[in-house]
Structure 1
Amino acid sequence: MNAPILDRAAFIRENTQLLPSPLVPEIGLHLATEAVALWQMTEEALAEAGLPPPYWAFAWAGGQALARYVLDNPETVAGKRVIDFAAGSGLVAIAAARAGASSVTANDIDPFSHHAMRMNAEANSIAMDIVEDDIVGDPLTAYDVILAADICYEQPLSGQVEAWFRTLAASGRPVLMGDPGRNFRPSERMEKLAHYAVPTTRELEDNDVRSTDVWRILP
């Protein structure tokens, strides 16, 4: 049996530094400074460590764009109950809290992400609830605004999430997504809200800047 990392918070502290994200410098996150070393651990090493791919350790372009949009357009979330789906580091959820949301929930199925989000919320002095379950398909009746970023990497998950988002949008609630042109982003019934040139790293992306959009998903 593979030996798990018992203290995930300690692992995060040892492999990250509290740093500002380039497009959202007012929010600090525990980010990997040795991206290649952390990301390119062998599958065997990852399994031995009990560590899923560390999506939580990076400020991805879609999340930065959506966080920037929320901060610059606080009326999007102010006074509303907000959930950040597949939240990773919790950047978008933190931005929603900063923008005046009445309550903020971050969701991810990665247990390392849960620890990272708690640490990032504490570092930014905001309150955040965390939902650890797979919520795809849930009607999310407890929330007024649904936020998501960097989720269109692969099928069939992207298709399942799109169908779910369309259903949520049909209920009249805003469903906003940050995306830097991933392969499986929906191509129809999308309203572009904003465009950003997001500084990135070639260690993670194919360029130093990613052209990134914020979209509202329509029913």
Structure 2
Amino acid sequence: MPGYEIKLERIAIAGADDLVIRSLLDRQQFSDPLGAAAAQGISSAAWPMFGLLWPSGAQLAARMAVHPVVIGARVLEIGCGLALASLVGHRRGNDMTASDCHPLAAGFLLENLRLNALAPMKYRRGHWGMREMNAPGDVLGLFDLIIGSDLLYERDASGLLAAFIGRHAGPAAQIWIVDPDRGNRPAFNRQMADEGFGMCEERLDQRASQGRVAYRGRLLTYSKRRAPQP
């Protein structure tokens, strides 16, 4: 690939069959000759982050591996990067839409679908760092489950991520965010509360063992608060 190097790996996912994943070779890769990433506000330091596999993404994929498939339910992954959780959910028969703001995310998804002999999957641009633009290819509509992993790595004083989720969450939607104990979590919880969501959390800590790396983090589950009955 011109401008950056890649690798292929067979990735083990708890509760699911392995996936073959094309990713960037390492976090030193960068190629933005036309400034497409810069136009989305993606710096050279942040550019490779979409194309790497992250521990929280593996945790989210494992959760999707055991999530019951509900016919007609729409699932959106936001900030998908290499979309490991979306690939797992798609292979199990969920109506998945993967989304990210990185200009190369869609191409990597297409190749990883091909590598695993999977049918086409929906992909939309999702950029909560910009005000809603409704441009062609952007995330549209409401979803029954919205998922994401390691999204709280930057301070979001304006609550753009929570507002983005609120715009695309159906009336009975659940939101799953796998978070490796980022310091921005309390502010995000308050912003989600302002959007009308209640929250519960589950620790996902695991010790290292043979074939399994250590992990510290939690699953944050949000759902719309029910209006009080008259």
Taking structure 1 as the reference length, the TM-score comes to: 0.71
* SS in structure 2 at match of 1:88: coil
- The residue aligned with 2:227 is none
Deviation at 1:176, TM superposition (A): 1.0
- The residue aligned with 2:223 is 218
Whole-angstrom CA distance in 1 between matches of 2:115 and 2:127: 26
Deviation at 1:209, TM superposition (A): 3.3
One-letter amino acid of the structure 2 residue matched with residue 62 of structure 1: S
Deviation at 1:147, TM superposition (A): 1.1
- The residue aligned with 1:18 is 8
* SS in structure 2 at match of 1:177: strand
For structure 1, which runs of at least 5 residues remain unmatched after alignment?
Answer: 1-9, 200-207
Identity %: 19
Whole-angstrom CA distance in 2 between matches of 1:198 and 1:54: 28
State how 1:176-191 maps to structure 2 within 5 Å.
176-185=176-185, 186-187=188-189, 189-191=198-200
Indicate the RMSD between aligned Cα atoms, in angstroms.
Answer: 3.2
The partner residue of 1:90 within 83, 88, 92 is 83
State how 1:66-145 maps to structure 2 within 5 Å.
66-71=60-65, 73-75=66-68, 77-79=69-71, 80-101=73-94, 103-126=95-118, 127-134=120-127, 141-145=141-145
Which has more radius of gyration?
Answer: 2
- Structure that is richer in helix per residue: 1
Whole-angstrom CA distance in 2 between matches of 1:11 and 1:78: 41
- The residue aligned with 1:37 is 28
Aligned length: 191
One-letter amino acid of the structure 2 residue matched with residue 211 of structure 1: R
* SS in structure 2 at match of 1:151: coil
Distance change >3 Å, CA 192–CA 16, structure 1 → 2: same
For structure 2, which runs of at least 5 residues remain unmatched after alignment?
Answer: 191-197, 225-230
- The residue aligned with 1:64 is 58
The partner residue of 1:54 within 29, 48, 59 is 48
Asked if structure 2 preserves the Cα contact closer than 8 Å seen for 1:194 and 1:214, the reply is yes
